Amino acid sequence: MSACMLRVALVTLAVCLPAVSFADDVPEGFTPLFNGEDLTGWHGMPHFDPKQWDEMDEEEREKKLAEWNADAKEHWTAEDGELVNDGHGVFLTTDKEYGDIELVIDYKTVPRADSGIYLRATPQVQIWDYTEPEKFNLGSDLGSGGLWNNSPGARGKNPFVLADHRFGEWNRFRIRQVGARTTVWLNDMLVVDHATMENYWRRNDPLRRSGPIQLQTHGGEIRWRNVAVREIPAEEANALLNEYESQAFESLFNGKDLTGWHGAVDNYEVVDGAIRCKAGHGGLLLAEPELTNFVARVEFRLPPGGNNGLAIRSPGTGDVAYNGMCELQVLDSEHPKYANLDDRQYHGSAYGIAAAKRGYLRPTGEWNFQEVTVEGSRVKVELNGTVILDADLSEAQDFMAGSEHPGLSRESGYFGFAGHSDPVEFRNVSLKLLPGGK
């Protein structure tokens, strides 16, 4: 079937779907965000750069908020348990900010309107009139639920399938976001799966760690109901990130002993299913296979001020930060004793070579999830669902303290841990080989 015929078939299918009536409830474990009677818990805010908001003084904020709230009262009402917007005005915005969440929300709109849901004050999970030919060039005919403000061609920008109900019927979103990783179901159909939501405001920066939920207004009446959220705790967030495509990964650690590891094995111990560097000890603990291109996953837990590292293409001896391809820092970056480090020494950085983005570690003492992709000379580090480093190390020209890195061009080596005397813990260590992996 051609792409054109498939698109027509999907539109026809969506139009012919029977009416679905959702019960006036929210799932167990979710907290309602709308009380059914008024706008308590919400305020007005337009499409507005959250960094600009952060930089305002209190007087400026109060003035803006008063202006936006007055506008919200003009265009937003509560009616028969529904939030109703006339298609104009500022966006309805939660007073509370959210990070990792699962959101459920029902909406019903009218022809020629489009709308969306901002996450962390960032556009957006798209809502379209999928029948409007004037916007087919923008992707409206593909249906709602995509991360429309992602870059052209980026994963998640367009939904997998047209899942919209016909006008006059309610639609239900279920949206899950862990870090920047975003999954969307529309009317029980998966339309976006584990896609990275881009930072619309600053494309070179990761998505903000937290922010408000916003309901967009855009040219036609839209109604919302059963708006509810569930905040995802760290342990569950790590499990969700680990579960994605887990069948492609092979475990490197049996949870019981250091079988399959070599190097400074006497300086590490297995405690409660985790590999822990012994306090006052360190050195390289390396997994047996020598690797070229791979994806490694690991959970780690830092004690206060903890310092360790991930060895990338280590030759097996020496200081991997210099004679290996690199050492990826594992560090309690916000501890006061590290306040004056070089940017290339903080967590996730290729030590002394390339700096990672800061601010995405969980509170000290909690488990973090990290995924590292090594392919050729490029290294990508994803921490708790957010990419904090994506660098081609072969392009590095400026090194910390002018130090040479003779191992930077290594094409193979061992993966493991580079202990620095602190009892940093690692668990759920797994590996996926990429083409040319061994």
The string of DSSP letters for 105-148 reads EEEEE-TT--EEEEETTEEEEEE--TT-GGGGGGTGGG-S-SBT
Is the domain of 23 the same as that of 149?
A: yes
Is the domain of 355 the same as that of 388?
A: yes
CA dist 217 to 14, 46, 92, 166, 176, Å?
A: 24, 9, 8, 20, 22
Is the domain of 152 the same as that of 287?
A: no
**What integer pLDDT is reported at residue 37 of this predicted model?**
94
- Does 369 reside within a domain? yes
- Does 376 reside within a domain? yes
Domain boundary among 211, 232, 253: 232
- Does 100 reside within a domain? yes
CA dist 272 to 255, 366, 422, Å?
A: 8, 15, 17
Residue with tokens 């797994």: 430
- Does 296 reside within a domain? yes
**Residue 201 to residue 197: CA distance in whole angstroms:** 12
The Cβ of residue 27 has, within 10 Å, a number of other Cβ atoms equal to 11
Is the domain of 225 the same as that of 242?
A: no
What is the residue-level pLDDT of the chain in tens, covering all 438 positions?
333 333 334 333 333 333 333 445 789 999 999 999 999 999 999 999 999 999 999 999 999 999 999 999 999 999 999 999 999 999 999 999 999 999 999 999 998 888 999 999 999 999 999 998 888 999 999 999 999 999 999 999 999 999 999 988 999 999 999 999 999 999 999 999 999 999 999 999 999 999 999 999 988 999 999 999 999 999 999 999 999 999 999 999 999 999 999 999 999 999 999 999 999 999 999 999 999 999 999 999 999 999 999 999 999 999 999 999 999 999 999 999 999 999 999 999 999 999 999 999 999 999 999 999 999 999 999 999 999 999 999 999 999 999 999 999 999 999 999 999 999 999 999 999 998 767
Domain boundary among 213, 232, 251: 232
Is the domain of 249 the same as that of 228?
A: no
Is the domain of 302 the same as that of 167?
A: no
- Does 400 reside within a domain? yes
Residue 347: CATH number of its domain? 2.60.120.560
**Entry pTM:** 0.92
Is the domain of 247 the same as that of 226?
A: no
**What integer pLDDT is reported at residue 437 of this predicted model?**
65
- Does 189 reside within a domain? yes
Is the domain of 139 the same as that of 266?
A: no
Contact predicate 169/186, CB 8 Å: no
pLDDT cut 70: percent of the chain above it: 94
Which domain covers residue 310, as residue numbers? 237-433
**What integer pLDDT is reported at residue 4 of this predicted model?**
39
Is the domain of 253 the same as that of 179?
A: no
**What integer pLDDT is reported at residue 24 of this predicted model?**
59
- Does 141 reside within a domain? yes
Is the domain of 362 the same as that of 408?
A: yes
Is the domain of 259 the same as that of 385?
A: yes
- Does 294 reside within a domain? yes
Is the domain of 173 the same as that of 315?
A: no
Domain boundary among 180, 205, 232: 232
**Residue 372 to residue 65: CA distance in whole angstroms:** 42
DSSP conformation class of 211: B
Per the structure, how many domains does the chain have?
Answer: 2
